[in-house]
Amino acid sequence: VGSRSAPGIRTEPQLSTQPSASRRKTPLTIGRGRHRGRWAIALLLAALVALAMLWDWNWFKPPLEYVVEKKTRRSFAIHGDLDVDLGWNPRVVLNDMRLGNTSWARTQDMISAERAAFTVNLRKFIAGRLVMPRVELFAPRIDLETAPGNDNNWQLATQPAEKDEPEPRKGLPEIGRLRIDRGVIAFSDPASNTDLEVHLSTQETGDADGLQAKARGRLRTVDFTAEATGDSILSLADLD
């Protein structure tokens, strides 16, 4: 005899608490999920390794050159490699860099260097300060020149900046140690008949860098030569 509910009493269907066969996780499905996770991690690691092997900092040379040219209104080129060693004090190396001169100057480049390397304190840079713990310049050359009308070639960015350009960071960078190898600073002032070359080099002596300078040329129609040794350029720059 089939069971019937009493009149006026409604019965609810009984729900099974046992998982259905389609929802049960068998060892096979669990194993497949683990294998998929392992494959995803392996593919991610392989992609990172491939990126590290193919990564080339020279990809950033064109945008860097564009930014410098836009700021200085001079030609700028890195003919060698651009390299960066990452870290809290990342080290940037520019090989064979050249900043162009004015159209009336005697030399094609105002600033050039066989290699320029510097480190940047990343924490302080994020806080708004440009601190370079170490700067190294190999065979740098700076050609300074004047022209009639009180004009000179070291005035950069004479054109007004665009309205949408961000404000540049104020103040000169703070440099911890400065190393110069075979540096040359040339100065020419035809109005005073002055034409000088100063050869600079530094030597590391403990925690400081001694400076060696040799100058030669013509100073107001008089032949001029001089040699000097002393503290680093940074120490001289701190003098009032």
115 pLDDT higher than 50: yes
Contact 103, 87 (CB under 8 A): no
Go through 168-193 and write b for each residue having 16 or more CB atoms within 10 A of its CB, e for each that does not: eeeeeeebebbbbbebebbbbbeeee
In this prediction, residue 59 carries a pLDDT of: 92
Looking at per-residue pLDDT, the higher value among 231 and 30 belongs to 231
Residue 51 to residue 226: CA distance in whole angstroms: 53
pLDDT average, residue stretch 107-122: 95
pLDDT value of position 204: 75
DSSP result, 141-157 = EEEEEEETTTEES----
Tell if the pTM clears 0.85, that is, is over it: no
Per DSSP, the three-state class of 2 is coil
Backbone angles phi, psi at 87, to 5 degrees: 160, -175
Average of per-residue pLDDT values in the chain:
80
Enter the DSSP assignment of 8.
T
Q: Tens digits of per-residue pLDDT, 1-29?
A: 444 555 555 555 555 555 555 555 555 55
Top pLDDT among 165 and 85 is at 85
Alpha-carbon distance of 35 to 103, in angstroms, equals 66
CA separation (Å) from 114 to 63, 74, 180, 184, 240? 21, 19, 11, 12, 32
